[in-house]
Amino acid sequence: MEIWRGAMKNLLPVGVIVLLVMGVDSGYAQTQATKSSPGTEKKADTAKQQDDGNVALSAQRSGSDDSTYVIGPDDQVDVSVWGEPTISRSVPVRPDGKISLPLLNDVQAAGLTPMQLGAEITAGLKKYIESPQVTVIITRASSLHIFILGEVARAGAYPLLPKMTVLAALSSAGGFSPFAKRSKVHILRTENGKQITIPFNYKEAVSGQHPEQNVILRAGDTIVVP
């Protein structure tokens, strides 16, 4: 018995050392896992940001999230009236700038933002529906063009680029013809269903006298060079 007790005393330090080593290994593994987790979280955050960016880009391309977008002919709009499926529908904007809806027949859409068109439809439906809730979304933006007519090298329709000004548009058309009246250029624009005329004096704009004339163009604008 004394011999066995002596052997156990000799083995005890070895057992303690083994347990200590196992504890160190376990702590080391946890530390390594903790160190690797920030990188994993960072990758997950990056992937989420990329996904969110793709969603935002998709929304921007649809044009539905842009409160300043002005509806034009050939656009497709989705009109949703809450609780009224027979009135809600997706309709094209006709060349005359109007859409057709039940109860209201023809409604002017060109020249209005989606929010403004929604307000117009809401006002019209109040005669037939109590407290109508209307949402207008642009499902297809096909009117992102401007038009240049008259004494220019290349008259026609041109894609509307971001922040495109009158001078930039005229340069896209190849400049003026020898007979152009550069001081009498004007822009035709539809606002709130009505056509307005914006004068543009090319000589004053390029000389810096009245740079405010070099306005940023909108979809559907027509530049006329007499």
Residues with Cβ within 8 Å of residue 189, at least 6 apart in sequence: 195, 196, 197, 198, 218, 220, 221, 222
Of 112, 140, 168, which residue constitutes the final position of a domain?
140
pLDDT value of position 183? 93
- Assess if residue 56 is contained within a domain: no
Dist CA 222 CA 226 (whole Å): 13
- Assess if residue 50 is contained within a domain: no
pLDDT band at 153 (very low <50, low <70, confident <90, very high): very high
- Assess if residue 58 is contained within a domain: no
Q: Are residues 81 and 136 in the same domain?
A: yes
Q: Are residues 133 and 196 in the same domain?
A: no
Containing domain of residue 105, as a range?
Answer: 76-140
H helices of the chain, where?
Answer: 2-62, 114-125, 166-172, 202-207
Higher pLDDT, 164 or 8: 164
pLDDT value of position 5? 52
- Assess if residue 150 is contained within a domain: yes
Number of domains in the chain: 2
Domain CATH number, residue 120: 3.30.1950.10
pLDDT value of position 58? 31
Token digits of residue 108: 């002017």
Token digits of residue 225: 């060079």
Q: Are residues 111 and 82 in the same domain?
A: yes
- Assess if residue 155 is contained within a domain: yes
pLDDT band at 60 (very low <50, low <70, confident <90, very high): very low
Lowest mean pLDDT among 139-148, 161-170, 215-224: 139-148
- Assess if residue 177 is contained within a domain: yes
Q: Are residues 134 and 160 in the same domain?
A: no
Q: Are residues 171 and 219 in the same domain?
A: yes
pLDDT band at 177 (very low <50, low <70, confident <90, very high): very high
Of 113, 140, 167, which residue constitutes the final position of a domain?
140
Residues with Cβ within 8 Å of residue 98, at least 6 apart in sequence: 106, 107, 108, 109, 110
Which of these, 101, 100, 98, 119, lies nearest to 109 by C-alpha position? 98
Average pLDDT over residues 86-103: 92
Taking the model in full, what pTM does it have?
A: 0.47
Residues with Cβ within 8 Å of residue 199, at least 6 apart in sequence: 184, 185, 186, 213
- Assess if residue 202 is contained within a domain: yes
Domain CATH number, residue 194: 3.10.560.10
Of 115, 140, 165, which residue constitutes the final position of a domain?
140
